[in-house]
Amino acid sequence: MMAPVSEAFDAVDVIIAKRDRAELSDAQIDWVIDAYTRGVVADEQMSSLAMAILLNGMSRREIARWTDAMIRSGERMDFSALGRPTADKHSTGGVGDKITLPLAPLVSVFGVAVPQLSGRGLGHTGGTLDKLESVPGWRAGLSTEEMLAQLADVGAVICAAGSGLAPADKRLYALRDVTGTVEAIPLIASSIMSKKIAEGTGALVLDVKVGTGAFMKTTERARELAETMVALGTDAGVRTVALLTGMDTPLGLTAGNALEVRESVDVLAGGGPADVVELTVALAREMLAAAGRDGEDVAAALADGRAMDAWRRMIRAQGGDPDAPLPVARHTHEILAADDGVVTTMDAYAVGIAAWRLGAGRARKEDPVQAGAGIELHAKPGAVVRRGERLMTLHTDTPERFERAEAALTDAVTIAPEGSRPTIAPLVIDRIA
């Protein structure tokens, strides 16, 4: 019988150190991430450590080392053979946030490769892969070889991250979700940045959402997260910049998978809602500047069809049919304005919860989603409405869901007397580099 492997540390000692507000050493951090990946540190022990980190925080050195240890738990990708700069974008998630869909092909128009490794939705925030899977035939799972070939040929790819990138994060992410530690800024920052740095992109633009529909409810918390992630990227040699963007109101006029794809195609066709276009253009400019392609006329590539051509090539390369009709929900239900007046607020979180209850999202990562489910918005803050006019249309295949979805929207919209002026915050609140 083999003797048990002697471990460098004891998990309980590491937990107690962080519980008592001590800084963890590099060696302790390296060991705990490796031992957790190997199954030596149990889930309940890592849960306890995650809670201690949430309550007591981490220094910049600790966060950097924790991130590096998560990267070293798996493989790293290398795009140097492409012979062109690479840039990626990560959003912290919101309601109606379909920006990745038009953004990746748009940036690729200018000779910058976009390796966009994306995820699925959980809770009230939609997942990019769920949206794209509503396109008939499109597939999210690509091998590294397929991904590199598509980047070389098309210039943009949106796909699922391989299991080899930061496997420690995959385990820890699932654990945080069920232990009340999702909000720990050191753990959010290291989770996002370990995957992005391991992905090997040369430049990274972070879209850090602020408001009711975001994980970060206040500008102060969002700025702290953004500054932490920019520092991690910069320290790792990735040109990193962050925009703080508003998420009190849903982005665009749709929340839901096929509905958001349809809206993204409108943007690529030179139309679409003004806020979606504004943010797509702002993030594209940041990605191009970080990749050394400053000063390009981004808006022109949306207007003249070049971005749409890149979208069609990208969808086809992953088995999708860009001309196929998108799924449509079997049932709809309208929410009407209760009064005459001006829409002054529309709570993004409430709209996200309602879309989720209609079937657009999932409660557990293994749950299916409905491609056609979601919400269409007919008015947003600033719009003048009349009593009985449509405010929203709810879409689902399962009409028994309407009642709970409508309940989530009870106080979602405020209508003030005509002449009232809603305080509409700027979409881009701040830039952190």
Residue from 91, 191, 194, 264 carrying the catalytic annotation:
191
Burial classification of residue 13, based on how many CB atoms lie within 10 Å of its CB (0-12 exposed, 13-18 middle, 19 or more buried) = exposed
Active site (annotated) includes residue 176: yes
Closest-CA residue to 111 (of 299, 310, 277): 310
Active site (annotated) includes residue 169: yes
d(CA 159, CA 171): 20
State residue 58 phi and psi, 5-degree precision.
-140, 150
Residue from 18, 65, 90, 170 carrying the catalytic annotation:
90
Active site (annotated) includes residue 401: no
Closest-CA residue to 52 (of 16, 105, 11, 8): 16
Active site (annotated) includes residue 365: no
User: What's the chain's Rg over C-alpha atoms?
Assistant: 22
What is the C-alpha end-to-end distance of the chain, expressed in Å?
55
d(CA 289, CA 99): 18
Residue from 65, 89, 124, 195 carrying the catalytic annotation:
195
Residue from 18, 131, 170, 176 carrying the catalytic annotation:
176
Residue from 68, 97, 130, 169 carrying the catalytic annotation:
169
Catalytic residue numbers?
A: 90, 169, 176, 191, 195
